[in-house]
Every structure is written in C-alpha cells, then in structure tokens.
Structure 1
Amino acid sequence: MTDPILDVHDLSVSFDTYEGRHDVLNGVNFTINEGETVALVGETGCGKSVTARSVMGTLPRPPGDITSGKIRYHGDNLLADEDAHEQVKGDQMSMIFQDPMTYLSPVYPVGSMMADVATYSGRKDVSSWEILKSFLGHRENAEEIRERSIELLDRMRIPDPEGTLDRYPVELSGGMRQRVIIAMALINEPEFLIADEPTTALDVTVQDQILDLLRERVTEQNLSMLYITHNLGVAREIADRICIMYAGEIVEVGRTEEIFDAPLHPYTRGLLDSIPKLTGFEGSGIDGQIPDYTNPPSGCRFHPRCPAVMRGTCDMEPVEHYAVGEDRTVACHLYEDGMEFEEAAAIAADEATYDNEEPQPAEAGVRSKQ
C-alpha cells in the first residue's frame, strides 16, 4: 500500500480566550489516501473546522496554538516548516468554504476574482506594479485565464458562463455562488481539496447538484478530499471513509458502509439514531451537549453523555484507539482486551437513564468494569 497523501498525527490545538484556555483538539489522528474522499463528521462545535484550518495552514495564530502533533503531506511535516506549508497551501491544496458571501468580494466581478486566484495563489513576490497592471486590465495570460475560467464555470453547470464572469456575487443565487467558489478552488488544479460544509446553506435539490459536481471533479481529476460536515447523510453520499469526531477527538474511523451498517462507538450510534426516518418516527438523539473546552471531562470526553459508560474507567482513564477489523478503529473502552463486536455493540445499544447527570449502576443496564 502506498503512503497516504495526508497523515495527521496526534494533532492538539488550544485557544487563549477571556474565559480561559480552550483545549479544542485533543490528539486527532487520521489519514487520507490519494484519490480518496474522507468525511469528518460530528456535531457543531466539535472541532471539524479547526482541524481543516490546521491542515490548510489558515488557523489564526494567535489565538490558536498548535500544541502538539504532525501534519504530514507526502511525508513532509508541514508544521515543522512554515514556509513549506505556505508553498504547499498555494500550489497543491485548495479549500471550499461554507458561506460564499464571506469569501467573495462584493466589489469585484467573478472573472476578476477567479483571475486573481489563478495569478497570485501561492506567490509571495507580487510587486505593486504587477497588481496595478492587473487592476488596469493588463494582466499577463489574461486570455488564457479567461478561457480556463469559462471552461470551469461551464463544468460547474452555470448557465452563460462567459456572462457570469462579468457579474457580481450579489447578482447570483446561493447555489450559483457556491459553484463559483468551487470553480475558484479548482482553477489552479490542486491535488488536495478541503470542503468545509459547502452545502449547509443550500436547499436539498441544489445540495445534491453540488455533491454531484464534487464527485465528478474528484473522479476526473483524481483529487483527494477532506469533506467537513455535520450531516451523516451527506457523508454517505460523498465519502469513501468516515471519521467520526466528538469534542476534538476522533472516536471512530471506518469505511462508509461499515459505519452505517455496524456503528461501533456509542456516539456514532447516537448520531445515526438522530437521523429522521421516512417512517415519521422521531430519532432518539443524544442527551446533553458538547463539553466546555476550558474544563473538558477526564477520561473519554463522551462519558457524561454515554449510555454505556463504565464508571471508574470511562471517566478516569484516557481512551486508546483499538483496531476492529481491517482499516477500522474505535476509541472506546468497550473494545479493550479485544471484546467481540457483538458484545460491545449490545452494551452500546443499551439506553441508560441519568439522574443529575450521573449514570445508573450496572444492574440498570450500564456495564461496570470488573
């Protein structure tokens, strides 16, 4: 097996705020292979975008502080060389953002912004004279860039792609703006793409169209992609593998069909149970909320909400990642000592009730470690 294109190892990130130090990412580990799409899935606030920005090199520092870990891209640790990270970010990586109007300037037409990305991405030595010439319409390779922009907008299935180059973002619909953002991300033909919830603000029909476009680009250009989402349904449509994230930790990794057919971690099971069903029955959901990062729980960060918590273990001992089958891991004490999946899954499926946020004793359905 070839080495992964991206290998994130033991990544920890903290933020200094007025409330105190927030320990957001806590030893994040995952890999992405060439031509593979990996979805990072979890509730809002669990650290998905912080992970993406750390990989992309756009994490604001300060207040952000990468306290440990490695981000290897083609084997090179980008965190050890800031200049190399900047170069890779400009030449080989690209990012699609969630809210187009945050990243599209209201005062420039689409064609001008696409040309700027094509011309200046990854460059540090841009002179004032070159910028002035571009502003006055004397850009080098202007015709070539315009043709490439029209071709990309056409591939994004935008009607009248040439006319769209001369339009401003405010003249476009939300779906059209998102397609423009994707075209801008692809104009320099990156090999690695990060998509940070690009379909969240779109209606279902447009969302499906955007996912189709991304799948098409990934296949035709052999792109590797990290797709950030809180929606397991979207992850199922787009991803080869899924990483489940909770409170700044990866708690389960597996191929998409495995995650849906046989979830291992109680949190994964809770997420799946939260998905609305066509039958109309309401999902059970997950009680509680993401913990306070200034004072995160000891042991497993999910234990205050877990229906299968083992007192004295889950709330005290750091949790490890256990291999469960080929290319599948789970960070849960249930799988310690090689417990069979069926037994652990039966325990994880138990619905424990809580009294003042404390789990009931073992005889009420919560397993205690002997």
Structure 2
Amino acid sequence: MDLESVYSSEASDSELVSLLNSVSLSGLGLGDPALAARLAERAEPADELEAVYAQQNGLTRLPTPLATFPALRLLDLSHNRLQSLDEAVLALPGLTNLILKHNQLADDALPKDFGLLRHLRELNLSGNSFSQVPHQVLELASLTDLYMASNRIQTVPEDLHRLQRLRVLHLGGNELESVPKTLGNLYSLQVLVLCDNRLTELSEAICRLPRLRTLLLHANQLSTLPASLVRLRALKQLSLRDNPLVRNFVSSMEYEPPSLVELAARSVKLHGVPYGPADLPAALIEHLGSAKRCVNKRCKGVFFDTRVEDVQFVDFCGMYHIPLMRYLCSSHCESQQAAERSLQPDESDSEEEVGWRRRRLRRVLLG
C-alpha cells in the first residue's frame, strides 16, 4: 500500500473510481500510437468510460483518443516519459483524479489553462522535476489531495492557502528550508508531509491547523519545535526521527543514580519529617533548604542534585513511540499516569485540557 493510501482517512477517490467502468493498459510497453489504437478499441461505448490506467508504457504524450471520453474521471499515466501535458487534457472537464507521478515533467509542463479542470480533486505530480509548485495548480479550487513529493521544490508559494479544500499536502523529498506562515491558513488540512527536506525550523503557523491529524517531519534539520504544537487537538501522528532535536535528545540522556544523601533528603522533605539545629549538622540543614520542585506542576516531588531523565520506548510494528520525557524526581513520577503529566500544563488548565494533551502525545513516532 502506498503512502497516499496509508494516510487517507477513508478510501481514496482513485480506489472508488477504479470500481467503475475502466480500461487498464498498464505495463504493456505499447508506445504512443499503439496504445492509442488499443485504447480506442477497448473503450466502447466512449461515453461510459470513467477510468484509464496506462502506467509504464513509455508514453511521451497523451494518447489522442482520451479527448473523446467525456465521462472520464480518473486518468493514471504514472511511470511514463511525459515531458509535458498538452492541452488535450482540458477536453476532460469531469476529471477528478489525475496521476502523473514518476514522469519527466518540469516547471513549464502543465498547460496554461490547467486551472479549467474545475472538478479535479486529486493531483499527483510526485517523482518529477518541478522546482516550484506550478501557479496553475493554485487555480484548482476543488483540489483536496496534492502530492508533489520527490521533486526539486525549494519554496512553497505564499498563496498556497488559496486551496481551501486541501486535505492532504505531500511535499516530502524536496529541498525546502522553510514553509510560509500562510500554510497555517489551510483550515481543512488533515495530512501534512514535509519529511526528507532541509527544514531548520517550523513556523508557529502550523499550530493553527485545526484538523491536522498527521504531521511527518522526519529527516530534516529541526533542532526545536513550536511550543504551541501541543495545542493541535486533532494531531495523532508526529514523526520526528532523524532530526537534530531527536538525536541530541537521545544522545544527551545520562542515568546518574541518586546518592544516599539525595534519597534521604527527599524522604525528609516528602514526608514532612521535622528537623532542626539540634537534630542535624548545619551543612545538612542547608542542603535540605536547597530542595527543588519537580518541573511537573502537578507533582509533589522534590530533588536536590540529581534528576533522572528517562525516555520510555514502546515497539509498535517496527517503529517506536515516545510518548513523553519523564522526570523521575520522586516515586510519584514513576507511575505512567504521573509521567504523562510531564507535559507541564499550566495550573489554570482544566482537567479536560490536560486529558486531551495526554492522549494526543501517545502517537509521536520516532522510528
């Protein structure tokens, strides 16, 4: 199953259309004229054909008979040798799914009036040679799924937010060093894939996406994340592996067992054991006075010189979940419930607010 299917919340449009009247000419190696002839033979009656699959045929142009199929909704020409998409595609006004991945398309490959495909919902241009998102794409008001992975894109246009129906945006495997703040205005976005780029920071604007469920950021150069990321209520999957923030975080962890003095001092403070100058030397009294509260505001624990930083990895189908970082300053922090509170919520937060934060961070993917 490909990535488009994995991160869809439901069956993709491609899968639905494939159940309709279709012609598959995939992998026949027919060349332009031969494939056009075969298509003309098998597409009768023409007004009922809704899907054409013609992958891996070495095509360098659109088969000419396509323009004669007014009911065509899905066209899959992936894994061919297309260098441009001629205007014949504009004769398919009902097209909803256009899959052109793994061709030889570049910045000027799309026809000038490509935006006239008013019903287009899925556009897959992954695995080509685009250095930017074509401006014609921004005119596709009905677009819900845009895949432009594995190109050479260096910048995301500021006005990408014009695509207000966009649910899936896949820009992984490009050359992005940043994304614009306007990306935070894609209010319908559910899946954002920015992995395998050169991102050094993530705009706070991403934290304004109310429906975002999946955010893939692995294999970048991120050393920090926006603090407000935790407030994305719908977020269930966050992939961070192969970033400096993860590598530094894991490599810097050290386990230093607390000393007997540390353990004894914690017990005195936690259990309220009374003491005074007649009971303890002045140095120990001074030490007890240096107690520090756990950073978890809902934890009653204290520590002095040693705070154990611990990460709990859980194997999940060959990947790893890291739900949180735990500060084991006392026995209270060792329970899973207390550990999950280490998100450091404000004391003014409601129990409901704290609850959804705990649940949300259980799906942080590092593997």
TM-score by length of 1: 0.32
Choose between structure 1 and 2: higher strand proportion. 1
Choose between structure 1 and 2: higher helix proportion. 1
TM-score by length of 2: 0.32
Higher relative contact order (CA 8 A, sep 6+): 1
Question: For the pair shown, which has the larger CA radius of gyration, 1 or 2?
Answer: 2
